[in-house]
Amino acid sequence: MGINGIGAGGYPVTGYTTKRTQQNAAGKRFADQVNNVAGKKGHTVYMKTDDMLYSGGNGTGLSFYIKYAEDSTEDDPTVIAKGVDENGDEFEQTIHINKINPRSATIVEMRALEAYTGVEKQNGFSSLPMGTGNMGLNDRRDFMDMFKNAISDMKLLSQKKAAAYYQYSMQAYWDFMSRK
């Protein structure tokens, strides 16, 4: 069976194994290495419930959900994020929405801010710019610069609707920062 050219030339791919055995420099079969890694790490997915503000993750294996904290107030909106990090370790964070700085935020903080501000998600997609799929739990990025880059890229690609959507999303976060 060939998938997008894989398996062409008489070397079919089935699952994670190949029929042709090749050795790497360490003397291990590539297929054995892939199966060994694949067998060690599973992914946790949290199904969104009515009391959750957010449920999801990214390509690193980071998966989490966000709910309002019991002591959350209008003056100090507070959320609890629970999940597993990119290493499969469980975590729990308390996030004070008013303390989030989109110029230096984690993906979990930005998802909390996205949910809190109610930034409209276009066709179910994130309001956050591309490039968040490889962020780990504690990685910080300047999301405002990421928005600027995404807008520039979309304009270059003549994707006017995407550029306008990122502009709208970025403005919502600018508005949040100016209210603090």
pLDDT of the chain along its 180 residues, tens only? Answer: 444 444 444 433 334 333 344 444 455 555 555 555 445 456 677 778 889 999 998 889 999 999 999 999 999 999 999 999 999 999 999 999 999 999 999 999 999 999 999 988 877 678 898 888 899 999 999 999 999 999 999 999 999 999 999 999 999 999 999 987
Expressed in angstroms, the distance from the first to the final Cα of the chain is 57
Distance CA 19, CA 172 (A): 53
Distance CA 82, CA 91 (A): 6
Full 3-state SS string of 42-77 = CCCCCCCCCCEEEEEECCCCCEEEEEECCCCCCCCC
Q: Long-range contacts for 42-48 (Cβ within 8 Å, ≥24 apart)?
A: 42/88, 44/83, 44/84, 44/88, 46/83
Task: Report yes or no on whether pTM surpasses 0.75.
Answer: no
Distance CA 141, CA 150 (A): 14
Q: Which amino acid is present at 11?
A: Y
Is residue 113 within 8 Å of 98, Cβ to Cβ? Answer: no
Query: What are the domain boundaries of the chain?
Result: 14-41, 52-179
CA atoms within 13 A on the CB side of 146: 21
User: What DSSP line would sit under 18-51, residue for residue?
Assistant: ESS--B-TTS-BHHHHHHHHHHH-----PPP-TT
Distance CA 31, CA 23 (A): 9
